[in-house]
Structures are given as C-alpha cells and as structure tokens.
Amino acid sequence: MLSAGTSVLAVDAAPNPWFDGSYVADNWDTIMGYLGEHVRLTVGAVLIGAAIALPLALVARRNRLLGAAVLSLSTVVYTIPSLAMFALIFPFTGLSATTVLVGLTAYSLVILVRNFLVGLQGVPDDVQEAARGMGYGAVRRFWQIELPLALPAFMAGLRIATVSTVALTTVGVLVGHGGLGQLITGGFNANFYRAEIVTGAVGCVLLALVADVLLAGVERLLTPWARAARA
Amino acid sequence: MTGFGDALRYLNDPLTWTRRGGVLELLGEHLAISAVAVLAAFVLAFPVGVALGSAGRGSGAVVVLSNVSRAVPTLALLTLFAVSPIGFGNRATTIALAVFAIPPILTNTFVGFRGVDADVREAARGMGMTRRQVIGRVELPLALPLVMTGVRTAAVQVVATAGLAALVGGGGLGRIVNLGFGQQDYGRIIAGAILIAALALLTELLLVLVTRLVTPGPRRGPLHRLRERTVAGQPEPTASGVPL
C-alpha cells in the first residue's frame, strides 16, 4: 500500500479548492469582524489624512517655497515601502491598530495634499479677483468659490486615497491588524488554505470597488452643475 | 527609542552584512528578483503599449486595467501565487511582482505614444518614413519621458513590494523585518525597515538620473515634466502613485 511512487501524502490528497462557499458561511462572523476593522482603518486614515491635508494645502498654496517643500516631502514619503513604514512606526505604538492607522494616514495624507493643492491651484485667478471685488472675505471665498471649483480634483484625490488605502491596509498583518489581510496570511499559515486566502483577496478588491463607486456617487451629488453641463 | 540604537549596532556589525544569509546576500536576492520582474514586465507591456498607443486604440481597457490594479492588494497577489502550483519561493514572488509591474509600464507607454502630435506623425510619414521608422525615430523619442516614468514607477513599486514576499515565505530584505518580528528584536525590525526604505529611495533617485540622461532635448527632464503636470492640474494618467 505504501509502495514508492504510488503513495500520496495526505496533504496532497486533501482537496484545497480556490473557492469554497461553505468556508465563507461557516466563518461569516470572523470575516465580518475583519471587514469591520478594515473599513474602520480605511475611513479613519482617509478622514484624518484629509483633515491634515486641507490646511496644509491651503498654506502651501500661499507660500511658494512651502509648496515645493510639501511636494518633495510627499514624494519621499510616498516612496517608502509600507512594510518599512509600519516597521518604523511599530517601536512607538506597538502591536496595535494605531500603528496601521498612523502609517495609512501618512500615505493618504500625501496623496490628498497633492490633489488638494492641484485643485486649489486650478481655480482661475480672475475668478478669485472677481470674488474679492464683490466683497467676499477669505472664508466665504473658500466655501463658495474655491471649494466648488476645486471639488472634482478633491474628489479624485479622495477616491485614489481610499482605494489605495483599502489595498494597503492588508500590510497591517505585520502587526496583527491588517483587516481582511489577516485572512490572506492566516490562510497561508494554515497550511496554504486557498479558500481563506481568496476570500480575503476578493473581499479587499470588492471593498475597494464599492468604496470607489460610493465616492463617485457622492461626487455626482455634490456637483449637480457638472451633470447639467454634460447633458 | 531603544530600538534605534540596536538597529545602528546591528547595521554597524560587518558580520551582519557578509555572513551567509546576511544583508549582502539578501540584497542580492532582492535585486535579482526585482530586476527579472521589471524586465519581464517591460518585455510584455512595452510592445502592447506601443501598439495600442500608436494606433490610439484601447484607452478604455488601459484605464480599467490601471484602476483595477490599484485596488488589488500586492500582498494578496503575492500570496495567491505562493499557494498556486508554482509553490512559494522566489519564482512565485518574481511572477507576482512582474504582474504588478505591467500596469504602470503599459499605461505610461500607452499615454506617451498616444500623446505624440498627429502633425508630427503626418510629417514623418510625408518624409517617406516607414511605419517602423516613425515609431522608432519619431514617436519613441517623444514618448520616452513617459515610458521612463512608467519604468521608474514599476521599478520602485517592485523593489518595495519585494519586501512583502517575506511574509509569505519569499526571500529578500523583507526577511530581516520578518525575522525581527518573530524574535521580538526591535533593532532588527528597524534595521530591515531602514534598508528597504533606502533601497526604494535609491532606486527612485537612480532612475530619475537615468531618465535625465537618456531623454533627448533640453526641456524634457523628469523634473520639468513633473512641474508642468502639477501646474496644469491634470491628475496623473498612470497607475503610479500607489505606495507599497
């Protein structure tokens, strides 16, 4: 029975399908838990990133030197691999979700500040001039003139930042908080359990696409005039 | 911080670098995997990008590819190839990385060749150039800055992602970080992180310089390009800009 050549290891014989509905059904609560963490980390990182990026972009627009500094620094941050980023934050915040959140915020911040800056610079000078001539103050000019005109660039930035943050969150497995990424490495460590890995991977892609579609919808709602112009 | 001192001590030890399985060996492995992946991606993506861009067709498909590739986590792809029949190890890593290097090269090549002025193309044809000559002598020099941007993006991306391979049984510099986590050795984790970050930054810098050298014309350096693009307010047409 155990003659050489014909025998198979139990591992080889065991089925290891790429897709398995019963895995998803049996582990629904676990998957949802990881999905929740994934969403919380993504939303948190993009919101905090936006909250820091907007004032930064506003200041950088006024000061040419500062603008150049912000842009070149963002290129450098951008180039740092996520593995290195998380590993460098880890000594300060330990094996916590905070480590992942800080790293993700840094990435979303540099994506957003670029796009915010591009959007603000895209507001024509004569429009600004006209608004000033009509007696608009700085605050009112921002809300009623600059923000609506820069909105497409802002939303493009938010969409890119959100989609890449969803993908990047998986690297959080390094400190045990990778959202759906936990399924990917969890399946790898559980004797290459393909169904779990594919569930995590497909979940990430679906989450990114849903987020992108949602943000596209928000953009449509916020810019009704663009729709009117296209029609 | 305690870990940073340990990291310096670790990096300062010659044995760390030269012993078997040390930094130099891992660095060599890291660079070999990355180089093969980028080269393979270039061989596959460049001709397709030239053909599509030169004909001005298939922009929808290229945009979709570039957007979808942004949504796929690199870790997922590395893991999927590692558990496929290829088996985990450097071959699976290389294939996964090559797949990831295709979208930036393809998109940028496509955009570069499509952006060649129709009048210039027409003039070249009028001078009696063949289709091949037009592509090689007219379109390629004009598209070169963007092609190089694609290669640079892909290379930096691949060098960065290669570090993640260690999480799923691959080799390269990511091993140091992974081992550090396994042994709760802060110094090693930080040292590995510094090495990977430095390698990515050096790759970026090196390719910026190469781009400057190979690009004809005085005003076609990557820095000029960047400034023009930023001022024009155009969002980048590429799959670049995804940190890894």
For chain A, which domains are there? 27-224 (1.10.3720.10)
Mutate to test the interface with B, among A76, A83, A102 (most CBs of B within 10 A): A83
Residue among A19, A35, A74, A88 with most chain B CBs within 10 A, to mutate: A88
CA distance B230 to B207: 20
A10 pLDDT above the threshold of 70 = no
Which helix (H) or strand (E) covers residue A62, if one does?
helix A28-62
The mean pLDDT of B98-116, rounded to a whole number, is: 90
Mean pLDDT (chain A, rounded): 85
Interchain pair A204, B70: CB under 8 A? no
| A230: Cα separation from own chain's centroid | 29
How does DSSP classify residue B235? P
pLDDT tens across A170-211, in order?
A: 988 888 888 888 888 888 887 778 888 888 889 999 999 999
Q: Which of B242, B243, B244, B236 is nearest to B107 (CA)?
A: B236
Q: Model confidence over A162-178: pLDDT tens digits? A: 998 998 899 888 888 88
- B213, B62, B207, B244: which is closest to A169 by C-alpha? B244
Is the ipTM higher than 0.90? The answer is: no
Are B42 and B105 spatial neighbours (Cβ–Cβ below 8 Å)?
yes
The residue in chain A having the minimum alpha-carbon distance to the alpha carbon of residue B155 is A79
The span from the CA of B210 to the CA of B230, in Å, is: 22
Q: Which candidate from A78, A122, A173 shows the least CB-CB separation from B233? A: A122
Q: List the structure tokens of A2.
A: 């155990």
Between helix B2-12 and helix A82-93 the angle, nearest 10°, is 130
pLDDT in tens, B180-201: 888 888 888 888 888 999 998 9
Terminal alpha carbon distance of chain B: 26
Considering chain A, what percentage of its residues have pLDDT values greater than 90? 25
Is it the case that residue A4 has pLDDT exceeding 80? no
Closest residue in chain B to residue A194, using alpha carbons only: B83
Mutation site, B167, B202, B234, interface A, largest A CB count within 10 A: B167
Interface of B with A in 16-75 (CB under 8 A): 67-68, 70-75
| The pair of three-digit structure tokens given for residue B1, joined into one six-digit string | 């911080």
Residue B238 in 3-state DSSP? coil
pLDDT at A11: 57
> Residue A80 pLDDT more than 90?
no
**In this complex, is the C-beta atom of B80 within 8 Å of any C-beta atom belonging to chain A?**
yes
Number of A/B CB contacts below 8 angstroms equals: 167
Burial B97-120 (b: 16+ CB within 10 A, else e): bbbbbbbbbbbbbbbbbbebeeee
* Chain A touched by B213 (CB under 8 Å): no
Cα separation of B2 and A116, whole Å?
Answer: 38
Instruction: Dump pLDDT digits (tens) for B133-182.
Output: 988 888 998 888 889 989 998 999 899 888 888 888 777 888 888 888 88
Read off φ and ψ for residue A31, nearest 5 degrees: -60, -45
Q: Judge: A71–B230 Cβ closer than 8 Å, yes or no.
A: yes
Give the sign of the dihedral formed by CA B132, CA B215, CA B59, CA B34.
positive
Under DSSP, is residue B137 helix (H, G, I), strand (E, B) or coil?
A: helix
Tokens coding A5? 């050549």
pLDDT of B237 higher than 50: no
Question: Which pLDDT value is given to residue B229?
Answer: 44
Residue A136: CB partners within 8 Å, gap ≥ 6? A144, A145
Residue A42's pLDDT band, with cuts at 50, 70 and 90, is: very high
Rounded CA separation A86/A99 (Å):
6
* Whether the Cβ atoms of residue A225 and residue A56 lie closer than 8 Å to each other: no
Lowest model confidence (mean pLDDT) among A19-23, A96-100, B48-52, B101-105: A19-23
Please check whether residue A185 is in contact with residue A175, taking contact to mean a CB–CB distance below 8 angstroms: no
Q: What is the DSSP string of A106-117?
A: HHHHHHHHHHHH
Question: Would the CB atoms of A78 and B241 count as touching at under 8 Å?
Answer: yes
Of B1, B76, B82, Cβ closest to residue A200: B76
- Residue B221: CA count within 13 A, CB half-sphere: 9
pLDDT in the model for residue A8:
56
Chain B CB contacts of A209 under 8 Å are 71
pTM metric for this prediction: 0.81
Cβ proximity of A204 and A73 under 8 Å: no
Pick the CATH number of B2-232 from 3.20.20.80, 2.70.240.10, 3.30.365.10, 1.10.3720.10: 1.10.3720.10
